[in-house]
Amino acid sequence: MKFNFLRVFVLFGLFFSGLVFSQNYELGEVTIEELQEVKYSNDPNAEAVVLFENGKTYFQYDMSSGFNIITEVEKKIKIYSKEGLDWANKTVKYYTVGKNEERVSFSKAITYNLENGKIEKTKLRNDGEFDEKINKYWSQKKIVMPNVKVGSIIEYKYTIKSPNYSTFPIWNFQYSIPVKYSSFKTYIPEYFLYNNQFKGELVPVVDSDTKMKTFTGRYTKDNRRSGGSNFERESYEVEYKEYFASYFLSNVPAMKDEKFVNNIENYVSAIYHELSSVNLPYEAIVNYSSDWESVAKTIMNYEGFGNELSRNDYYKKEIDELLTGIVDQKEKIILIFEYVKNRMNWNNGYGYLCDNGVRKAYVDKVGNVAEINLMLTSMLRYAGVEANPILVSTRSNGVPIFPSRSAFNYVITGVELQDNLVLFDATNKYSLPNVLPIRDLNWFGRLIRDNRSSTLVDLMPKMKSIKSIMLLCDINANGDIKGKVRKQISDYNAFVYRDKYFNVDKESYIDKLNDDFDEINISEYKIDNVENLSQKIVETFSFVDNKNVENIGGKLYFSPMMFFKLNENPFKLETRKYPIDFNFPFKDSYVFTINIPEGYVVEYLPEAANIILDNNYGGFNYVISEKQGKIQLAVNYEINTSIIPASNYEFLKSFFKMMIEKQAEKIILIKE
């Protein structure tokens, strides 16, 4: 018997499509069975699930303003646990300036609960809807759904109306919770040419069609030419093609986050549309940014960027005084950088355009990132330094997909010294040349020179940040360990410490150390060079540890790494489809001297080990010896690159497993 495999495949596809579309994916339909459900069968640990999300983006013609782009989204979510309650809130960001001002509205927002066997509906009231201003250009509308509890189902609809058809919405099919069904439809007139691209591992089912549509326009007729005395408004009708596309995915798994990931949103399954050109009736064709070079030129010509960069009259006196008698260019750079850092205070405002302008920011001593770093760039240029702005998309903003002005949300400063490019960000008090805030470390930026040319800039650190720990201790016959620790950290390690703990009081920080080190008792704590950014931070303290030595049958068992050992593998997924991001390369070195108790000798000493990652991505070296009652341990653990590709995940996970096992191995001491 012969099978027609093509026919079988088509019949299966028709059956599957019929099964998917026979489901009810509309608002207002909630069943008792859905409300009674206590976990999602496909992912029993899910805190919530998107039951469905339907979106459509279409164009609507307005006689006064032309085409507007409308996006409507309907969403229904089931809450399974307390951790899932945050999914009952929704925030939509929108643009608020000039002719491109957008509008956002919520509707059909209802919470469903099961009360005494009956479905109870609670509608969103006005006090659950908020409008918040983010900055000069952006606001956000937020809803907080009412009467939400574990077991609730919430649903809502929101609409975004925008005259700016260059910013087509991004549609995410995937979240950190599972999605049962996700559908996105687009209706695009022939006048607008978009390039689209899928992101992530999952590719949706696609359907498309073309229809003829019409829109009605108006023009003013001058009757005076035909003997009349007035103007008359007349209408006309235009027929055009509308291109329809439908994308859907069902049973989408949650995107599982893990340690050492840049921004998980970079890897979720989604579809992007980027405007390539507009060719409206009776108008010349308009080509939009098709490459990064064009994007950079466009941004440089913005009043809030290029014009602000050229201003220098507001700081000349102070900078002239600051640089009096200074000849060395590197010294000038550091003096100006430190001056801007110390004078200016970042208001947490993002964007590559100034909100209030560099002059006002300078006078007020506060500004957004553009005002601070464009000011820094301008001052360096005034001092004769070849400095240029670098456009950046921060980690929270994601990795840019298309050449687009909206791809960037930040700007830093680059100084070209011979063949070396040095990066600066004056928004953080603890940053240094080539030591940027972690938010900046997002693959690549784009440097724009004064002549409007641009070039790609690698933002990821190349130098290793060093952590060096020396420990000297004595173990007594009762298993108590007493000793001293000296720790030095530099570069990014020091930056992270200062940024996180500079304003934390000493007692609170010691409490944290005690917790981190398995409740050892710390005394005589001292730290040096926290305020001197050019120096390594040095910590010293004494400790007593009565937990890390076990006495079993008169033998003493302990790990020579003691409370510094790594106890848990940070990599837990079976497979990983996105890169491992360590932020910066590093090397951790440990040199321990352990005096064993009098009357004891070593029965067992762990063997030396040397574990190397493929492609020289990193390594772990463990050397141990014993002589005359002293145990000497030297351990080096290093990662040589900021980012390791996902293809190396299995080896990296195995590397950490072997490293943890080696650190956990115990020395055995017995009485002589």
| CA–CA gap between residue 601 and residue 270 (Å, rounded) | 62
Say yes or no to pLDDT of 176 above 90: yes
Closest CA to 144 of 125, 120, 119: 125
Give the contacts of 264 (CB within 8 A, at least 6 positions apart): 176, 255, 257, 578
- Predicted confidence band of residue 256 (pLDDT cuts 50, 70, 90): confident
Segment 162-172 mean pLDDT:
92
Amino acid at 433: P
Using DSSP's 3-state secondary structure scheme, residue 505 falls into coil
Q: Which domains does the chain have, with CATH numbers?
A: 10-286 (2.60.40.3140), 292-458 (3.10.620.30), 465-671 (2.60.120.1130)
- Residue 250 tokens read as 């069902």
**Diameter of the chain measured on Cα atoms:** 124
Cα 470 to its chain centre, rounded Å, is 35
What would the pLDDT profile of 344-357 be if each residue is shown by its tens digit? 999 999 999 999 99
Using DSSP's 3-state secondary structure scheme, residue 555 falls into strand
* DSSP 8-class letter at 385: -
Say yes or no to pLDDT of 364 above 80: yes
What would the pLDDT profile of 392-416 be if each residue is shown by its tens digit? 999 999 988 778 888 899 999 999 9
Q: What are phi and psi of 548, to 5 degrees?
A: -95, 10
* DSSP 8-class letter at 304: I
Segment 630-654 mean pLDDT:
97
pLDDT at 518: 84
Say yes or no to pLDDT of 22 above 60: no
Closest CA to 79 of 106, 116, 111, 108: 111
- Residue 606 tokens read as 């762990």
What is the radius of gyration, based on Cα positions, of the chain?
31
Q: How far apart are the first and last CA of the chain?
A: 82
pLDDT at 137: 84
In this structure, are residues 40 and 178 in contact, taking their beta carbons and an 8 Å threshold? yes
Q: What are phi and psi of 203, to 5 degrees?
A: -110, 125
* DSSP 8-class letter at 342: H
- Residue 239 tokens read as 């027929």
| CA–CA gap between residue 326 and residue 332 (Å, rounded) | 7
pLDDT at 243: 97
Q: What is the mean pLDDT of the chain?
A: 92
**Beta bridge mates, 420:** 417
pLDDT at 99: 87
What would the pLDDT profile of 44-87 be if each residue is shown by its tens digit? 999 999 999 999 999 999 888 889 999 999 999 999 999 999 99
**Beta bridge mates, 91:** 142
| CA–CA gap between residue 16 and residue 22 (Å, rounded) | 10
Give the contacts of 283 (CB within 8 A, at least 6 positions apart): none
- Residue 554 tokens read as 């008169």
| CA–CA gap between residue 313 and residue 449 (Å, rounded) | 21
- Predicted confidence band of residue 31 (pLDDT cuts 50, 70, 90): very high
- Residue 162 tokens read as 């925008």
Sheet holding 420-424, edge to edge: 420-424, 410-417, 387-392, 444-448, 454-458
pLDDT at 136: 82
In this structure, are residues 426 and 369 in contact, taking their beta carbons and an 8 Å threshold? no
In SS3 terms, 435-456 reads as: ECCHHHCCCEEEEECCCCCEEE
In this structure, are residues 358 and 344 in contact, taking their beta carbons and an 8 Å threshold? no
Q: Which residue has the higher pLDDT, 413 or 218?
A: 413
* DSSP 8-class letter at 306: I
**Beta bridge mates, 78:** 49, 153
In this structure, are residues 649 and 571 in contact, taking their beta carbons and an 8 Å threshold? yes
Q: What are phi and psi of 324, to 5 degrees?
A: -55, 125
Amino acid at 201: E
What would the pLDDT profile of 34-44 be if each residue is shown by its tens digit? 999 999 999 99
Segment 152-177 mean pLDDT:
95
Segment 10-36 mean pLDDT:
67
Segment 16-21 mean pLDDT:
44
Closest CA to 609 of 555, 667, 671, 662: 662
- Residue 596 tokens read as 């064993």
pLDDT at 67: 93
Closest CA to 255 of 268, 246, 243, 266: 268
Cβ neighbourhood burial of 43 (10 Å; 0-12, 13-18, 19+): middle
pLDDT at 231: 65
Say yes or no to pLDDT of 219 above 90: no
- Residue 133 tokens read as 């201003």
Cα 259 to its chain centre, rounded Å, is 13
Q: Which residue has the higher pLDDT, 349 or 137?
A: 349
pLDDT at 291: 86
| CA–CA gap between residue 538 and residue 487 (Å, rounded) | 6
In this structure, are residues 460 and 643 in contact, taking their beta carbons and an 8 Å threshold? yes
Say yes or no to pLDDT of 418 above 90: no
pLDDT at 225: 60
Give the contacts of 204 (CB within 8 A, at least 6 positions apart): 173, 182, 184, 198, 247, 248, 249, 269, 271
Say yes or no to pLDDT of 227 above 70: no
In this structure, are residues 528 and 550 in contact, taking their beta carbons and an 8 Å threshold? no
What would the pLDDT profile of 81-127 be if each residue is shown by its tens digit? 999 999 999 999 999 988 889 999 999 999 999 999 999 999 999 99
pTM, entire model? 0.85
At how many degrees (to 10) do helices 329-343 and 369-382 cross? Answer: 150
Cβ neighbourhood burial of 115 (10 Å; 0-12, 13-18, 19+): exposed
Q: What percent of the chain has pLDDT over 90?
A: 81
In this structure, are residues 537 and 494 in contact, taking their beta carbons and an 8 Å threshold? yes
Task: Give how far Cα 575 sits from Cα of 257, 265, 650, Å.
Answer: 12, 18, 7
